[in-house]
Structure 1
Amino acid sequence: MTSLPAPQAIDQHIGGAIDQAAFDALRSAVRPAVLRGIAADWPAVQAANTGNRAMVDYLTARAAARPIGAIAAAPSELGRFFYTADLSRLNFIKGTGALDAFLEDLLRAAELPDAPAMAVQSEEIAALIPAFTQSNRLDILPGVSPRIWIGNRIRVAPHYDAKENVAVCVAGRRRFTLFPPDQIANLYPGPFERTPAGTPVSMVDLANPDLGKYPRFAEAAQHAVQATLEPGDAIYIPYGWWHGVESLEAVSVLVNYWWAPGLPDGIGSPYDALLQALLSFKHLPEDQREVWRTMLDYYVFEKGGDPAEHLPPHAQGVLGPASTQLFDTMRSLIRQ
């Protein structure tokens, strides 16, 4: 088996709190960063440091009476939420129930030698645990609604988000392995239609990469960066960076903040546009695809500069400055 280099360590900010100016400067580098101890004073982190029962009691005492979604995979899957061997379906089941029941099941599973993988994923904290956000705050993102992720020793395949992300480790340790967006071809993305993580995931198992089947992953590994978070630590993940996540403890809690700054009101979804592009361009003859590649570079990515600069403002139409009216006009043209 070909050996791969160990991922490089992610840059760290050490010292707990970080002010807005320092956080903005960190983001401007467009590189992942670890924020050590940024949430060490959270009551939830302090409860987690007391023990698993204290963590569960802290969440249960503040939870609203509403159902949650949860997923579970058999012990044979070794904690990996992924596909069955033939890719015909996902390798886990979904269900709904009460948070307190899930948490008690999580504690019982912690005593088993071969526990199933269990997770509650991406629940909005404001709706599920309203009092949590009042006591556990991230001041650098005051207007972003946090989400909570709870589970045991699980592995999530590398995937990307069309958002920026700050993920705070509350209980248990979590290992993050990241790759820059330009490594997409070397990560072998899976299907669009059925995915464990919303967007396509890498088909490569980071714990045991098969270079015979996925040889280009050897190049992706040259660009990998990694960090292990302790309770109270956070990681900043830039827009579009691929990240695989491994929870290392029997009880693991993470709070994350997704946001996409700078988006004009009414703009369309880039992910939807990608699907539309696959529909419209992928199966054209190559000479026609080359024409449209040139069109996109000119109109969308503006490689030759502003495509409307030679037109007076009243004649720029859909090439004009962003506005909700402009986007409504575009949608009307598409519908026609």
Structure 2
Amino acid sequence: MTAVTESGERVGGRPIPERRDVDRDLFEREILTAGRPVVMRGLVADWPVVKAGRSGDDLRRYLVERDTGAPVGALTAPASAQGRFHYNADLTGFNFRRVQLRLADALTTILQYGSEAQVPSLAVQSVSTRGQLSGFDRENPMPMLDPAIEPRIWVGTRGVVATHHDPSENIACCVAGRRRFTLFPPDQARNLYLGPFELTPAGAQISLADLTDPDLDRFPRLAEALDAAWTTELEPGDALYIPYLWWHHVEATEAVNMLVNYWWDAQPAERGRPQDALTLAMLAIRDLPPTHRAAWRAMFDHYVFDDAAVDAAHVPPHAQGMLGPLDPRTARQIRAALARTLSR
């Protein structure tokens, strides 16, 4: 992804490193532990759905034959949106509608739109294959992950998903069409001009900047983000590892596109969501006097962000509480106590 500044200077990032013949051991030992994006070329090229995806009609037939008939969620946007699912002009809502429809009908519409110009956009998003597509997981296995991690499908016309992040690890597999990805490290948040905190398309903040046509006069720090960007284009059969909380902008560039992705998080559910802790910190700390914020920053560094474990050796094990190892039962008790405090 490149852009041109007012002075004519070109800015842009780096290509995402690529690997071939990746197995689970290599993925867990080298890629996952490094926490950097990697393209795994040809990882799922042998999937039957990838082979079916060479033809829009064959892809529709493959999916419909396995469809349970349950309605799926989709987004639809008018032709004026040019495939970009985003906010409306005054940020009071969005430029798309959410609809429920049968997968077969959605696929028929996608094929119809793909053969025409200046038509609305339609995207079936984040549909769980279990309960929706009988046998899909078995026929199209993900060799890198525990089988308990569920695949989700994304099928649509040409479209653009704004820069956002997910509180999870992610492997995205290109099945049909091509996908162009632009990734940013988590520390680029300040340069991405994020939109409303509460009003979001799917729970995570998105960038107001349009990477397909960067406006560096309106968003000057975006040039710094683009310099830090990692970019790639996936072809059918390729997969991309997107590390935890990395920002990513996704363009589906062909008339018919399909992606399968896997989200997972090593955090035990009883520990709660970091997003909730961030929200509470914004409420309770952000507007304190500067000296108070600095004091709390030191406390957070000590108890949360210091890489070294909190030194609790001076406290007897029976009295360590949160200073010591937390088992699931203790974590649930702490969450319950916190909930009682917040309800006052």
Task: Say yes or no: TM over 0.5.
Answer: yes
- Partner residue in 2 for 1:198: 203
- Partner residue in 2 for 1:21: 25
2:103 maps to 1:77: no
**Scaled by the length of structure 1, what TM-score is found?**
0.95
Identity %: 45
2:26 maps to 1:10: no
2:295 maps to 1:282: no
1:80–1:156 Cα contact (<8 Å) kept: yes
Runs of 4+ in 1 over 2 A off after TM superposition: 3-7, 302-305, 307-310
* Aligned match for 2:216, one of 204, 211, 219: 211
Tell me the secondary structure at the aligned position of residue 127 of structure 1. coil
Aligned pair count? 332
Unaligned runs of at least 5 residues, structure 1: none
Tell me the secondary structure at the aligned position of residue 61 of structure 1. helix
1:292 Cα deviation from its structure 2 partner = 1.4
**Scaled by the length of structure 2, what TM-score is found?**
0.93
- AA aligned to 2:176 is A
2:271–2:332 Cα contact (<8 Å) kept: no
1:119–1:151 Cα contact (<8 Å) kept: yes
2:12–2:228 Cα contact (<8 Å) kept: no
Tell me the secondary structure at the aligned position of residue 128 of structure 1. coil
- Partner residue in 2 for 1:46: 51
- AA aligned to 1:329 is Q
CA distance in 2, matches of 1:35, 1:304: 33
1:26 Cα deviation from its structure 2 partner = 1.5
- Partner residue in 2 for 1:235: 240
> Which has the larger displacement, 144-153 or 195-204?
195-204
* Aligned match for 2:151, one of 143, 146, 151: 146
Offset from partner CA, 1:8-35 (integer Å, 9 cap, x none): 11100124xx221111112122110001
1:188–1:214 Cα contact (<8 Å) kept: yes
- AA aligned to 1:10 is I
* Aligned match for 1:185, one of 167, 183, 190: 190
2:273 maps to 1:258: no
1:274 Cα deviation from its structure 2 partner = 0.9
1:86 Cα deviation from its structure 2 partner = 1.1
2:196 maps to 1:220: no
Matches within 5 A, 1:145-164: 145-164=150-169
- Partner residue in 2 for 1:64: 68
2:85–2:159 Cα contact (<8 Å) kept: yes
1:245 Cα deviation from its structure 2 partner = 0.2
Matches within 5 A, 1:273-312: 273-302=277-306, 305-312=309-316
